[in-house]
Amino acid sequence: MSINILLVDDHVMLREGIKHLLEFDENFRVVDQASTGAECRNKISNPDIDVVILDINLPDITGTKLLKEIKQKRRGLKVLMLTVHNEMEYLLESLDAGCDGYILKDSDSSELHDAIKAVYAGEKYIQPDLVPSLNARLLKRESDSDKSKDMTKREKQILISIAQGKSNKDIADSFDISERTVKNHITSLFKKIGVSDRTQAAVFAIRNNFISL
């Protein structure tokens, strides 16, 4: 019995290349292809599809947003992200969105085979050379989470405002407090999250999902 695959990538030659690589092995069968998010939405209802191989960059939607839609529509469908991005932000965003696997486009065919088989079997598959950096970032995220717990509700509101680029005066006006009070909150906030300026605070806010880009 073969694993039935939907390939989603906007590059035709890449899709055809992957299709040929996979179908050299009788364990895999590419049953359909899509080049956009819209096409993918129309095709994932096919009950024969076991695994979606999904590019993280599509012309009409980001791969992670489409991933969330796929998981909402067919919770049990396995999704393997295929991407050129080895930055941890993309990997973490994909994991948070519910991906079952993450592999780079420069991987060899045997690694792609292993990834598909793993996610089909219900396992998580992360390209091995990305795992050390991922673990380091997860530890950092856990540390950030501890810092976030110490923040007051007002400090969280001010952190979001800083990440939105608001000045102290704007923040004071928004919450009907004095600029001096804003400065006091910022001093306390920076100490709790271990940053020394507004740029670092904004990065902390984005990294910990207080605000989205």
> Which long-range contacts link 181-188 to residues 24+ away (Cβ below 8 Å)?
182/158, 185/154, 185/155, 185/158, 186/158, 186/162, 188/155
Half-sphere exposure of 123 (CA within 13 A, CB side): 9
Residue 95: alpha-carbon gap to chain centroid: 5
User: Tell me, what's the pLDDT at 143?
Assistant: 65
pTM more than 0.85: no
- Average pLDDT value for residue range 175-184: 95
Residue 213 has pLDDT above 60, yes or no: no
Share the mean pLDDT of the chain.
89
Q: What percentage of the chain has pLDDT greater than the value 70? A: 97
Q: pLDDT: is 140 or 155 the higher one? A: 155
**DSSP label at 4?**
E
Q: Cβ(61)–Cβ(37) under 8 Å?
A: yes
User: Tell me, what's the pLDDT at 144?
Assistant: 72
Confidence of residue 7 (pLDDT cuts 50, 70, 90): very high
Task: Set out the domains of the chain in order of their start, with CATH numbers.
Answer: 3-133 (3.40.50.2300), 150-207 (1.10.10.10)
Q: Which of 94, 86, 101, 30 is nearest to 62 (CA)?
A: 94
Written as six digits, the tokens of 152 are 């007051």
Query: CA torsion sign, 73 to 76 to 77 to 79?
Result: positive
Strand runs labelled E in the chain:
3-8, 28-34, 51-55, 78-83, 101-104, 125-126
Q: Which of 187, 65, 45 is nearest to 54 (CA)?
A: 65
User: Tell me, what's the pLDDT at 4?
Assistant: 96
